[in-house]
Structure 1
Amino acid sequence: MSRTNKASLEEIRGFFATMMAVASGSADPRFERAFELVRREAFVGPGPWHINVYQRTIKTPSADPVFLYQNVLVRLDAAKGINNGEPFLHAAWMGAVEPKPGETVCHIGAGTGYYTAILSVLTLPGGSVHAFEIDEGLARKALENLRPFEGVSVTPGDATRLPLPSSDLIYVNAGVVAPPLGWLNALRPRGRMIFPWRPSQTVGLAIIVSRLEAGFGVKPLMASWFVPCAGASDAGDCKKIPDQHEAWSARSAWLTSDREPDETAVAIYRDLWFSSVEVPADA
């Protein structure tokens, strides 16, 4: 095939954005535009890059950005097991929580900021995204990478200990045994939080927690495995650890200060418990 018949980088980016829009499951055209606008190569360092394929790592043949516009994990820190994240997974997450214009979003575990940037585009106009990253090196890179994006801040440090702003959406990219109370309290009414729930080494799923008038609604979304979240990965205070079936059956969550665990409990922690029964409509 001659060079003139090969797809241009812009065409490849456009097709990648189309795939992400389909993976999101949303009919909102902003998803495609957001993935097309934010250039992945600006967030993963200079190429060639190491990408993960079925738990193996291979090096791209060159530093041509075309190799980044596919559903692959791009390695950021091999020693810590940190990568740029699977695009299809993040598209599905964002489609499920539907970031809206004008909303306030907290992104915990922002890495170098690629998905933070996409979240910021989805909250325009008038929205804001507050990124938290505990790794100092990644936080510095995120701060530099995100300078061109409107309404974005980057805070280096432990988001399980730092105060979070009042949020419409909390987007967590690290495995959590149980979400800290500070995160739940930061959710506005009808606010939602998506995070990888890792109640044990053998259970990993993404769940959406929504703040209701009483309690929190829980919706399991998909299997999901992330590196552990520092400060939120200790199962020492867990009184009941769910197995795979119990975790997937969770439909609500309650603060123990508001409601004591009952026979519907599938997971019990010191300050929070999960139930297999939905929050009553009149609660």
Structure 2
Amino acid sequence: MFNEAELIVLRRAYARQIAFLGDANNAALERAYAEVPREAYLGPGPWPIFRWTGYTQTPDADPAWLYSDILVGLVPERGLNNGQPSAHAGWIAAAAPLPGEHVVHIGAGAGYYSAIMAHMVGSAGTLTAIEYDPALAACAAANLAHLPNVLTLHGDGSVVPIAPADVIYVNAGASRPADTWLDGLKQGGRLILPLTTKFNFGEGAPDFSRPSGAVFRITRRGSNFDADFIGDVAVFPCEGARDEASEQALAAAFGKGGYRDVKRLLRTDDVPEEECWVRAPGWSLTYR
């Protein structure tokens, strides 16, 4: 088993690799990956490691097994994992939490990526971690209790009242942006929004036979919201932030393509069809 001195070196190498794989050129993010111990948020080992053929248990409880770009099962029977580190690195870099800012993490799971972002905002900043699953919320609360700048809540992250936020980081697949998130953004605030269809992550595994999920950065500019495509995604669905009409509109939109070219999120569907990638009741993503 690796000793603590060896783990410190291993975490630094892991952080450098993850930042590279996630195309995340952010020194504060790399430091957070190097200094936040992943094993502290995953329960006692051995740990179930996700592979496309199923889960494989690590040979023992050595934390060294966790310092790679792998998914670790949190609730394996539901296909719910501690997400891929490089993917989160790219999304967190797009959100770019800064010292002193307030981050809201929707779908905090067991708290690992909450801890990463709390590290980035520092003691002058705050982080609100919200988790829908009661068992995971309790786990996150215990795991994050040592961080004085973190508040952990159990509830539906699409409706839980939040203080004005510089970053809202949604860690689950929505079929629409929740009003709570858009209203909660400060001026210049960034919302990391994964939009997915029901084909994205069905019975524990994504269906890659069709495009079905993309992550967007939504930035508040006065009363307007800029939108940028960040990357493709396969992610567990977001309870509370899904509706059938938006689901159908997204499925049609992914079917026609063009989601990498969106420029703006509008809180209306009163937009010409040719200007939209997706148009659903009450909201649209447009090309201009």
Where structure 2 has 5 or more consecutive residues not aligned to the other structure, the ranges are 200-209
TM-aligned CA distance change 1:217 to 1:145, over 3 Å:
same
Q: CA contact under 8 A between 1:239 and 1:270: conserved in structure 2? A: no
- 1:83 equivalent in alignment to 2:81: yes
User: What does 1:44-123 align with in structure 2 at a 5 Å threshold?
Assistant: 44-123=42-121
Residue identity opposite 1:243 in structure 2: F
Partner of 2:153: 155
**Aligned residue number for residue 173 of structure 2:** 175
**Out of 251, 255, 267, which is 1:255 matched to?**
267
Contact kept? 1:20, 1:31, Cα under 8 Å? no
**Deviation for aligned residue 1:239:** 7.4
Counting matched residue pairs gives 271
Contact 2:18 2:69 in 1 (8 A): no
- 1:184-223 to 2 correspondences below 5 Å: 184-199=182-197, 201=199, 202=210, 203-223=212-232
3-state SS of paired residue (1:226): coil
Q: What letter is aligned with 1:97?
A: A
CA distance in 2, matches of 1:216, 1:186: 13
Query: Structure 1 regions of 5+ residues with no counterpart?
Result: 278-283
Aligned mates of 1:254, 1:116 — CA distance in 2: 29
163-172 vs 208-217, which moves further: 208-217
1:209-248 to structure 2, matched below 5 A, reads: 209-237=218-246, 240-241=249-250, 242-244=253-255, 245-248=257-260
Confirm or deny: 8 A CA contact 1:101 1:123 kept in the other structure: yes
RMSD: 2.0
Structure-1 residue corresponding to 2:284:
273
Q: Deviations over 1:248-268 (max 9, x none)?
A: 332111111xx7212302212
Please, which moves more after superposition, 265-274 or 232-241? Answer: 232-241
Q: Distance in 2 between matches of 1:25 and 1:11?
A: 21
Task: Name the SS of the counterpart of 1:253 in structure 2.
Answer: strand
4+ long deviations beyond 4 Å:
none
Give the superposition deviation at 1:29.
2.3
The alpha carbon displacement at 1:26 in A equals 4.3
Would the aligned equivalents of 1:238 and 1:268 in 2 still touch at CA under 8 Å? no
2:266 maps to a residue whose letter is: W
C-alpha separation in 1, matches of 2:53 and 2:97 = 31
SS at match of 2:145: coil
Q: Normalising by structure 2, report the TM-score.
A: 0.88
The residue type equivalent to 2:139 in the other structure is: K
Checking the alignment, whether the CA contact within 8 Å between 1:181 and 1:271 is kept in structure 2 is no
Measure how far apart 1:154 and its partner are: 0.5
Whether the 8 Å contact between 2:175 and 2:246 is mirrored in structure 1 is: no
TM normalised by structure 1 equals: 0.90
Give me the whole-angstrom Cα distance separating, in 1, the residues matched to 2:249 and 2:176: 12
How far apart are 1:136 and its partner, in Å?
0.4
1 CA distance for matches of 2:246 and 2:88? 30
- Cα distance in 2 between the residues matched to 1:58 and 1:34: 27
Provide the rounded CA distance (Å) in 1 between the counterparts of 2:73 and 2:89. Answer: 19
Deviations for 1:229-281, whole angstroms, at most 9, x for unmatched residues?
Answer: 1111223356743125133332111111xx7212302212222111111xxxx
Equivalent-residue separation in structure 1 for 2:60 and 2:248 (angstroms): 51
State how far apart, in whole Å, the 1-side matches of 2:16 and 2:196 are: 31
Q: Equivalent residue for 1:126? A: 124
User: Does the CA contact (< 8 Å) of 2:19 and 2:86 recur in 1?
Assistant: no
